[in-house]
Amino acid sequence: MDETILTLLVLAMLMPLAGTVLLLCAGRMIGDRAGWVATSLLGFSFLCCVTIWGMWPDRGHRVLALYNWLPITADGAGFLEVGLFLDSLGVAMMAMVSGIAALVHLYSIGYMRGDPRYTRFFAYLSLFTFSMMGIVISPSLIQLLVFWELVGLTSYLLIGFWYEKRAPQLACRKAFIMNRVGDAGFLIGLGILFAQLGGHLLLPATEGMLMADGNHIKSMIGALAATEAAGQVASSHAGLNDWLGLGSTGWLSLAGLGLFCGAVGKSAQFPLHTWLPDAMEGPTPVSSIVHSATMVAAGVFLTARIYPILTPEARLVIASIGLITLVMAALMALVMTDIKRVLAYSTLSQLGYMVVALGVGAWGYALFHLITHAFFKCCLFQCAGSVIHAAHHEQDMRRYGGLGRKMPWTAAAFGICVLAISGAAIPLTTLGLSGFYSKDGIIAGAFNFGFGISGQWAPGWLFWFLPLLVAYLTPLYMARAFALTFMGRPRVESVHQHAHEAPPSMLIPQLALAVMAIISGWMLWKPMIEASQPVMQVMGIQSFAWLHEPGNPGMKAAHAWLLQGAGWIIPLAFGLWWYRDGLGRASRVAESWAVRPIHRALLNKLYFDVVYDRLISGMVVAQSRILDWIDRRIVDGLVNRTAHLGSDLATATGRFDRDVIDRSLDGAAESVLQAGGVLRTTQAGRVRIYVLGIFVAILLVLIVVLASFLPIWRASAPSAAATGRPVIWTFESDFVSGHRHASGSLGDSIPFSAKEESINP
Amino acid sequence: MLLLHVQTVGSSEGWVTLVLFYLFAALSGVSAWALVLSPNIIRMAVYLMLTLAGVAGIYFLLGAELLAAVQLIVYVGGVLILIIFGVMLTSRNPYLNVAPRGGEMALGLVLATVLAVLLAVAVLAAGLPEAAAAAPDDDRYAVRWIGALLLSRHLIAFEVAAVILLIVMIGAGYLVRRRIKANQAGATEGRS
Amino acid sequence: MSLLLNFMIFLPAIGGLLCLAAPGGRQARSLAFWVTVVTLAMSLMLVAAFDYSAAGPQFETAVPWISAINVEYRTGVDGLSLSLVVLTTGLALLGLLASWNIEKSPKVYFSLYLFLLTGMLGVFLALDLFLFYVFFEISLVPMYFLIGIWGGPRREYAAIKFFLFTLAGSICLLIVMLGLYLVTPQAVGKNTWVMVASSTSSDRGSEAVPATLVDERVRRMFAGPRFDLERWNEAAGDESGRELIDALRLDDRSESTEAVKAVLAEQLRLRGEAGLGQWLAEFTQAVLIEGRKPLALPVEVGEANLDDRYWSVLLVDQARGGRYWVFAQWAFWLSLIAFLIKLPSVPFHTWLPDAHVEAPTPISMILAGVLLKMGGYAMMRITWPYFPDAAIVFWHLVAGLGVLAILYGAFCAMAQTDWKKLVAYSSVSHMGYVTLGIAVMTASGWNGAYFQMIGHGVSSAMMFFLVGVIYERSHHRDLDRLGGLWTRFPAFGGWSMVGFFAAMGLPGLCGFIGEILVLLGTFDAASPGAIGAGSVGLVYVYGALAACGVILTAGYILWMFQRVYMGRPREEYHDYAPISRREYLIMGVLGVAAIVLGIVPMLVFVMTRATFAGMLASMGVG
Amino acid sequence: MMIGLAHFVILSAILAAAGIAVMLTRRNALGILIGVELLLNAGGINFVAFNRLAHVGTAPDGAPLMDGVVFTFFIIVLAAAEAAVALAIFLNYYNTFRSIDVDRASELKG
């Protein structure tokens, strides 16, 4: 069984990778068939994933393969591992990712037709799919990080696909850097975990992390709460450690939040959300898969994976971040006029829901919403893409209008997804479109959490109120987008005139996704909850499992506040009516004195970009300039100054040499020369005169020497008779004895020495 | 036969040695001073030959027969010939008068005499030993010992001497060649 | 095999001489080509014959060289040098291909190039400190000329700056070497320059010594102060044995303390407390006040462990307040500075941008790819193994330098408008990871630092080559005057992406492995038993700052990538010659190497594993 | 009367004095050369005599001490060399000054 699953999984993984390699290496040969090649490969991959789902035996989790990758201990025995790992969550995600990717590939065949880099687009798209699958099947945080970054890379390439234009260049760079900011946090979290767990970075649902070194992290968290309750904050560290809050299990919060930083970047949560709307500069198929269905979901997926190590404090932070994103993005979606940006902010908002769900502990619903949202948001983007395609790349909704008549299928698919995202359901029943199932669960979880926390913490009510508020806002902004695009009269004739229904290759995926948007919730909610049971059990998540059970207080409250499934109708109907003829009515309200500043601020994305570009980015660049200046002027200047000092010193010594030493030498030489001028008169140049001089000198010396020896002149000369030896002879004998001694050492080198006897018998 | 006797300086048969010594000493000393007084270069050369021969005899007396032979062959046979060559090559007049002027001669003689006297005084004052303490072995001065010494203790000096000879050979040849060239150049100049 | 190793070192030099004698530039070029090919083949043979389970040096040669000062010609290869050797020979071949079109006096160029190769291989393969120094200096000279003659407009300035900087470092190294030479007799009985204790030689002490280390006895001389001298003196006044023993501070890592304690325990057993106090007082009197050697003490002392020469040296040293320990501290910093200059690390880095900007492309490749690695290699080979105690004491300063280099280099790179200068500063930043990884002295830190050297060798060589390819066509490197190259050269753009993103540390490429391991290793320094366990917060701050470097790296690489490759192609690109096959070959090889190393890092780690295990264990941090 | 060292030394002094006298009195370069030869011979006699009569004995290897003889040998060799060079120089000299009178060559004068 496992072998089959492993084979299928490897096949499913290899298909997109093979597509990438094939298209990059043999792209010229494949040419226009690239789209079909990639799509069929992805289709096969999807089939593999569905098969796995079908045969997934016990809904448990299993590590299918594990390889040593990076050595982390000195003896070379400890490793960071990579491999293949699946649990119910992974199976569902694999099916979702490969399915949506296949549909997006299909859609791109029509959308990207005629692009000069057609082949390369599919190569990137397949690589992206591969990377995303890699995240899903990661058994360890390190492998997750690897594919995490690869997803970032492919996203960079896809957003910047039309890099000749300036906006995509900036957008892709921004996306990557924002992701990197998050990743830095990820790395910090990873490092702290690494240091504290001794390198056990296997993901929580496996046996590795939870039981690392006998430390059951979950029980540690429990113990932490207990010790805090008892007022005993045990801290083994002091000073800086206390300041950083690293005492006892503070590191765990820090690690969890660090890892969550990565999720913030990837899932575009506040405050790193600004890249997502800009990423809409990429081709629309990219937006539909990368920035709605999969990549941005990776952050949520990661948070879900590390859920067990998240301390209560960390969860509160996570929920708050999600909450801010949720509300802020919904409000912005309400004022944007670019159709893709509306969808982008709506994505942000929905991601906010998921993150809130994780923060409040509605673990299963966060992932459920991730999957349902993938279907309808992907469909929405594809419809938007079709519209943009039909409208000759006009993206401003103010210039649309009445397109529903020209492209009815697209309008229908869009409409279905609007209903899905609004959480539409048949009132008083539990039947609804996909969004209803997942979102109501999240709101129910938020109610439970909010009620629980508001008793201890005053602003706690926000945790249930804001998700509820956004549940009413969502139908409004989606209705606005639908009405402005498809309803009313055409506002710009040129756009409307040439508009046409999308070609089948684009329409089919749209419709397929729309169908999924209708049925996936109803079809999947029971299996999802059941499938996540074992995973949740391992992680120790018990609550909220059966939110749809009638007795759950949170669910009861949620249903009540959402008018028993009828809550969506009011804002939706209002939106459709209010925007049926364009923005006229709305802009009048927006211009009113009370709303105007808010409207303006929302239109400017709450000035986040301004702050980031001008302030942070500007500061970084300014700092780099300053440091560069310091480097050139001060550090290097110091070096050059030193060198100059050396050369100055050399010059000075050179001058000293020339002016003092040389001159004195010159002076000496000159005086010698003058003396020589005097003396030259004695030098006649005659050889014999020299000879004469020499011998006169010899004679004088001889006389002096003799004078010292001859007793005539030397009163106290030692008597030769007394010693029996003349003075000179003494010297001679010394010489002889010295000589003998010397010859002794040299004698060894005389080759005849061995023949001594024969010579001297 | 004579040589056998001569080898034994300081032996009981000292009178032969004594005679021979004075004979050779007189030959070299007288010739040397005759050389000093001779005005003619060729005669000077002849006197020099006699002096050198006398010195060779002294070497014989001292038992250094190889040295004596070398003295005769190299000095008398080689150096002297060279000097004669020099005389012939540089003198248009074969009997060039090289007589010194009177004052110079006087000065030279005075100085030389002073030197000789001083040296003699010094030698006598030093009280040099009369003779060697021990009688030497027969083969003391055997040529093979000289060969062995030259190739062992004095090897470097020997090699240096060899190199100097080589250099001298090359250098002399070079100098003469330059002269020939210069002569040829002078000849062509003269012709034009 | 050892013959092959020595031949490999000197074959390029022989080839270099032959190049000078070659009839023309083309012949010299093909000669140089074949010489580098053969050198590469020989290094691969080394890899094939290497015993991956052995920690110590293999294929050793040890021949007396300058016997008057015990200098040996000692070469060999171990896990620390093997992959760097392969990197060197591989890059040398690629660099040679990159210099295929050198026109200015090619004979001299190729000859110098081969001499440089000999110098580099010698540095990595020398096992004698003196020999190492000689090769360290030898490699300077060809580089000086290669920059100074074939460089850009300011080549003289750059070459002299490079030379002087490195020479200044060499002087520091020389001082350390002389110091080591003078103190080794106290430990091993003779002056020695041997860097790595031989795995085969039998002249080691009886105690078990990890194989791949500087002679353990030498290293232990430099052990840090492990007991409180002041308290000892004070206690000695009371003549109470127990207090004296208490004065010896406990440090589990310190074998020297154990030995001292063993001696004292023995004396305690023999004499009782009062007797021990008496003995210690005598000892203190003799050693501290009269300066006598402990061997002059009562004979019973010698009967304990003290007769072993280096234990007695240690005891005296510690008693005197650690004379050798003081030397170790100085020597640690001096040798560190020598190698930090080579690495280069902030603030000794300013020769690098100038040298790189002025150097011709292949020389930049070699400079960044191999020469910088000498610094890191030497730190791992000399500074840390010799003075691990000093390294433990000063780890936070060195790690701080590393972090500073990471951030500073990245910031400076961001401000550049000269493409090559940007790449040069990125090297400064990347080498900061090496410093950091070595400084934290954890297994993953060392692995990471080492891999970072290999990975950077590949990626930086590739980056400089990519810059060179364009420079050859555009004759300028101004980032503001480039743009849209991707459209003009699509395949080149693809390879560029591999190169630059490898430098950025993208997973799947070689730059990632080093970065992530260094980061994890840095955090690992906070784990119990590691050197940062007492200052967890500081470790985390360093780790966090280094992680932030990742953002800056992405910032400048992406900005550069956008400015050069994205956008509309410029008019003048039509005149640019198409990228030749030779150029594609070079980037292809480097790019594939970057990908393969990024996916299968164990290729490097199998070589280093045994050696690192031995080294870290002997430094007391394994 | 025995012949002692003094005899030889005095003979050598006579020869040396004669040599100096020749060097001082002759203007002819060849004359000077002859004087030099006399001086060298004087030295040679001294060497051999001292070796024979004062420097007696054998080296540790059994070889007799005969350095004086060897020195004289070298003197002769060098004298030959000197003569050859001197002759070459004189020829050049003669070529230049058309004379061999050393007093004509006063260009050495400072």
Q: If you average pLDDT over residues D65-90, what whole number do you get?
A: 85
Highest mean pLDDT among A544-558, A673-687, B160-174, C235-249: B160-174
Query: Percentage of residues in chain C with pLDDT exceeding 70?
Result: 79
Higher pLDDT: C87 or A91? It is C87
User: For residue D2, what pLDDT band results from cuts at 50, 70 and 90?
Assistant: low
Q: Quick one: C432 and C535 in the same domain? A: yes
Contacts 24+ apart (CB under 8 A), C160-168: C161/A639, C161/A643, C161/C350, C161/C351, C161/C354, C161/C355, C162/C351, C162/C354, C162/C355, C164/A643, C165/A639, C165/C341, C165/C344, C165/C348, C165/C350, C165/C351, C166/C140, C166/C341, C166/C342, C166/C351, C167/C140, C168/C341
Of C257, C290, C321, the domain-final residue: C321
User: For residue B180, what pLDDT band results from cuts at 50, 70 and 90?
Assistant: low
Residue C259 has pLDDT above 60, yes or no: no
Chain A residues touching residue B115 (CB < 8 angstroms): 695, 698-699, 702
The pLDDT assigned to B6 comes to 44
- Looking at the structure of chain C, the number of domains it has is 2
Q: Quick one: C575 and C455 in the same domain? A: yes
Domain positions in chain A are 1-212+251-297, 311-486+499-579
Q: If you average pLDDT over residues C441-447, what whole number do you get?
A: 89
One-letter amino acid at C249 equals R
At C66, give phi and psi (nearest 5°).
Answer: -110, 90
Higher pLDDT: B137 or C186? It is C186
Inspect the interface and report whether the beta carbons of A246 and C537 lie closer than 8 Å.
yes
- Looking at the structure of chain D, the number of domains it has is 1
Residue A732 has pLDDT above 50, yes or no: no
Q: Quick one: C591 and C449 in the same domain? A: yes
Higher pLDDT: C48 or A551? It is C48
Structural domain contains residue C523: yes
Residue C349 has pLDDT above 50, yes or no: yes
Of C278, C298, C321, the domain-final residue: C321
- From chain A, which residues contact D within 8 Å (Cβ)? 676, 679-680, 683-688, 691-692, 695, 732, 736, 739-740, 743-744, 747, 750, 752-753, 756, 759-760
The pLDDT assigned to B181 comes to 65
Site from A23, A241, A248 to mutate, C interface, most C CB atoms within 10 angstroms: A241
Q: If you average pLDDT over residues A99-126, what whole number do you get?
A: 87
At C189, give phi and psi (nearest 5°).
Answer: 90, -5
Distances (CA, A) of C92 to C115, C166, C352, C461, C608: 11, 21, 20, 10, 22
Q: Quick one: C422 and C315 in the same domain? A: no
Q: Is A546 helix (H, G, I), strand (E, B) or coil?
A: coil
User: For residue A216, what pLDDT band results from cuts at 50, 70 and 90?
Assistant: very low
Estimate the crossing angle of helix C602-618 against helix C581-599, to 10 degrees.
Answer: 50
Query: Do B106 and D38 contact (CB within 8 A), yes or no?
Result: no
Residue A235 has pLDDT above 60, yes or no: no
Q: If you average pLDDT over residues A245-269, what whole number do you get?
A: 78
Residue C33 has pLDDT above 80, yes or no: yes
Of C321, C349, C372, the domain-final residue: C321
Higher pLDDT: A132 or A308? It is A132
Query: Do A185 and A262 contact (CB within 8 A), yes or no?
Result: yes
Inspect the interface and report whether the beta carbons of B126 and A696 lie closer than 8 Å.
no
Inspect the interface and report whether the beta carbons of D57 and A684 lie closer than 8 Å.
no
Q: Quick one: C528 and C614 in the same domain? A: yes
One-letter amino acid at C579 equals I
Structural domain contains residue C472: yes
How far is the alpha carbon of B1 from chain D, nearest alpha carbon, in Å?
20
SS3 string, C190-226, reads CCCCECCCCCCCCCCCCCCCCCCCCCHHHHHHCCCCC
B9-19 pLDDT tens trace: 444 456 777 78
Structural domain contains residue D87: yes
Closest CA to A122 of A168, A93, A158: A158
Per the prediction, chain C carries an average pLDDT of: 81
Structural domain contains residue C108: no
Candidate from D17, D49, D92 with C-beta closest to B178: D92
Closest residue in B to A698 (Cα) is B115
Chain B residues touching residue A759 (CB < 8 angstroms): 139, 144
Boundaries of domain holding C477: 394-622
The domain that holds D35 is classified in CATH as: 1.10.287.3510
Q: How far is CA A594 from the centre of its chain?
A: 42
Q: Does D7 touch chain A (CB under 8 A)?
A: no
Closest residue in A to B100 (Cα) is A688
Higher pLDDT: D108 or C367? It is C367
Closest residue in A to B145 (Cα) is A752
Structural domain contains residue C113: no
Query: Percentage of residues in chain A with pLDDT exceeding 70?
Result: 80
Q: Quick one: C612 and C477 in the same domain? A: yes
The pLDDT assigned to A579 comes to 80
Residue A754 has pLDDT above 80, yes or no: no
User: For residue C590, what pLDDT band results from cuts at 50, 70 and 90?
Assistant: very high
Q: Is A498 helix (H, G, I), strand (E, B) or coil?
A: coil
Site from D51, D61, D67 to mutate, A interface, most A CB atoms within 10 angstroms: D61
Q: How far is CA C318 from the centre of its chain?
A: 30
Residue A720 has pLDDT above 60, yes or no: no
Give the total residue count for chain D: 110
How far is the alpha carbon of C237 from chain A, nearest alpha carbon, in Å?
36
The pLDDT assigned to C398 comes to 93
Q: Quick one: C404 and C553 in the same domain? A: yes
Closest residue in D to A685 (Cα) is D109
Q: Does C528 touch chain A (CB under 8 A)?
A: no
C526-566 pLDDT tens trace: 877 777 777 788 888 999 999 999 889 998 999 898 888 88
Of the listed ranges A61-75, A335-349, C61-75, the one predicted with least confidence: A61-75
Highest mean pLDDT among A655-659, A688-692, B88-92: A655-659
Query: Percentage of residues in chain C with pLDDT exceeding 90?
Result: 36
Of the listed ranges C101-115, C242-256, C322-336, the one predicted with least confidence: C242-256
Q: If you average pLDDT over residues C7-20, what whole number do you get?
A: 92
Chain D residues touching residue B70 (CB < 8 angstroms): 73, 76
Question: What is the Rg, in whole angstroms, of the alpha carbon atoms belonging to chain D?
Answer: 18
Higher pLDDT: A541 or A184? It is A184
How far is the alpha carbon of A760 from chain D, nearest alpha carbon, in Å?
7
A269-309 pLDDT tens trace: 888 888 888 888 888 888 888 887 788 888 888 888 887 77
Residues β-bridged to residue A432: A425
Chain A residues touching residue C601 (CB < 8 angstroms): 69-70
The pLDDT assigned to D51 comes to 83
Inspect the interface and report whether the beta carbons of D32 and A686 lie closer than 8 Å.
no
Higher pLDDT: C308 or C144? It is C144
Predicted complex ipTM: 0.63
D41-59 pLDDT tens trace: 999 999 988 887 777 667 6
User: For residue A731, what pLDDT band results from cuts at 50, 70 and 90?
Assistant: very low
Highest mean pLDDT among A44-53, A638-647, C81-90, C386-395: C81-90
Contacts 24+ apart (CB under 8 A), A605-609: A605/A274, A605/A277, A605/A332, A606/A328, A606/A332, A608/A271, A608/A273, A608/A274, A609/A274
Of the listed ranges A8-12, A125-129, B89-93, C414-418, the one predicted with least confidence: B89-93
C394-429 pLDDT tens trace: 888 999 999 999 999 999 998 888 999 999 999 999
Burial C294-322 (b: 16+ CB within 10 A, else e): beebeeebeebbbebbbbbbbbbbbbeeb
Sign of the Cα torsion A352, A358, A361, A367 reads positive
Structural domain contains residue D54: yes
The pLDDT assigned to A6 comes to 85
Q: If you average pLDDT over residues A126-153, what whole number do you get?
A: 89
How far is the alpha carbon of B93 from chain A, nearest alpha carbon, in Å?
23
Residue A473 has pLDDT above 50, yes or no: yes
Boundaries of domain holding D63: 9-99
Q: What angle do CA C611, C617, C618 make, to 5 degrees?
A: 90
Residue D97 has pLDDT above 50, yes or no: yes
Higher pLDDT: C268 or A724? It is C268
Is domain B2-139 in CATH 1.20.120.1200, yes or no? yes
Q: CA-to-CA distance for D71 and C109, rounded, in angstroms?
A: 57
User: For residue B185, what pLDDT band results from cuts at 50, 70 and 90?
Assistant: low
The pLDDT assigned to C39 comes to 94
Inspect the interface and report whether the beta carbons of A685 and D20 lie closer than 8 Å.
no
Residue A714 has pLDDT above 70, yes or no: no
The pLDDT assigned to A751 comes to 36
